[in-house]
Amino acid sequence: MRKLFPALCATLFLLGCPGAGTIEFGAVLPLTGSSAVYGESVRKGIELAYEQIQAREDLEQTIGLRILDSESDPDKAAQLLEQLYDEGVLAVIGGVTTAEALAMVPVADRADRVLLSPSASSPELTGISKNFFRVFFSDFDEGTKMGVFAAGKGYNSVVILAKEETWARGVQEIFVEVFGGNDGEVMEVLEFPEGTSDFSGLVERVNTLEPSAVYLAAYAQDVAKLVEEITASGYDGKILTTNAFAPPSVLAEVGEAAYGVLLTAPHFEVDHEGEPIKSFVQAYDAKYGELPDVWAAHGYDALNVFVEAIPEPFRTASDFRTGLRGIEAFPDVPGVIRFDERRDVGKFPRVYQVVSGGLRDYETDVTKEKEELMKKLRELREQRRRAAMNNN
């Protein structure tokens, strides 16, 4: 890890930093409102990272942190971002949702400061600005993964239920292209507006069309209601969706109605024995009395990446941006971070299935089950062969 030298003081003064020798970072997160289920987890991850950073002895400068609540409002997120930059914050973690990220990018460009999203995934954000980075995969990868998976599993006809907003439209359009390109039939795309509370008409249409699967593109609250209503309607096809449905609190709330739902999400397993996942999970559990989810992991990584990116010598805010681009392989919790020329990371989603107690890695577990089954079949054949020889 690079050390931070006292020569930074003059630079930080020019940046408007409130204390000489202090590097101020910020975060604008949806801690209340419709996206709070994601923002709260990100906050916990960031605060754990900050606590650990404060305890480090190899840092010669003080790291400051300010976290503000966007209230799940993109316009407020942009205003708060401008406030933080005006107050001298060097770089900000923000844009938990695509809508907030899109509203914040112009502010980052006016200030010529870094904005790092822990979870916004729209392809529209790829390469949008030299100041915008993200540690989450793009919806291009997520839509592609599920499109290929669904076609490969023989779900040859799909109805899509998607919210009328930028992120949902982006991921479902990629799914349509990939699924159709693999001989799948998208029977209909049914979009619903913000504030929809009655999904009965959409569910009825799904049952009328009788697709082999339905693909849900929306945030947690809407997907939860749709899953409950689709399951209750007696629909016997497969329900497919995105990482937006993955928060443990959402899965627990929906309960048995969610069992069997397939979704794409970053590869993150709380019972992984390798580092740095094991240490992160233990520290998170000790601090909060619960296991982390994937948003907490990305919040944790976002702040640690900021500290890793501080270059030496450090003279201007653009030096920090260069430091981020220069990270070669930072060992973060959900996977190695390395920013490409468009400031995206090379992470790829996996398919998970909702089971009692949470999520299981569908692809890995199915492969293991097949291997165990084949092993048992071989053992059975061998037993029969030996029995036949003994009888003879």
The domain that holds 159 is classified in CATH as: 3.40.50.2300
Q: Do 85 and 169 belong together in one domain?
A: no
Q: Do 318 and 295 belong together in one domain?
A: yes
pLDDT at 310: 86
pLDDT at 268: 81
Q: At which of 265, 288, 310 does a domain end?
A: 265
Number of domains, the chain: 3
The answer to whether residue 353 is domain-embedded is: no
Q: At which of 265, 286, 318 does a domain end?
A: 265
Q: Do 79 and 34 belong together in one domain?
A: yes
Q: Do 191 and 246 belong together in one domain?
A: yes
Q: Which residues pair with 117 in a beta bridge?
A: 134
The answer to whether residue 79 is domain-embedded is: yes
Q: Which residues pair with 331 in a beta bridge?
A: 336
Give the pLDDT means over successive 10-residue stretches in the chain (392 positions): 35 40 92 97 97 88 94 98 96 96 98 96 93 92 94 96 93 94 96 94 97 97 97 97 94 95 88 79 96 94 91 78 82 70 86 91 62 55 69 68
The answer to whether residue 284 is domain-embedded is: yes
pLDDT at 18: 40
Q: Do 38 and 123 belong together in one domain?
A: yes
The answer to whether residue 319 is domain-embedded is: yes
Q: Do 133 and 275 belong together in one domain?
A: yes
The answer to whether residue 381 is domain-embedded is: yes
Q: Do 148 and 257 belong together in one domain?
A: yes
Q: Do 221 and 241 belong together in one domain?
A: yes
The answer to whether residue 357 is domain-embedded is: no
The answer to whether residue 1 is domain-embedded is: no
The answer to whether residue 16 is domain-embedded is: yes
pLDDT at 15: 43
Q: Which domain holds residue 384?
A: 367-392
Q: Do 179 and 102 belong together in one domain?
A: no
Q: Do 217 and 309 belong together in one domain?
A: no
Q: At which of 265, 288, 307 does a domain end?
A: 265
pLDDT at 380: 59
Q: Do 261 and 192 belong together in one domain?
A: yes
Q: Do 150 and 131 belong together in one domain?
A: no
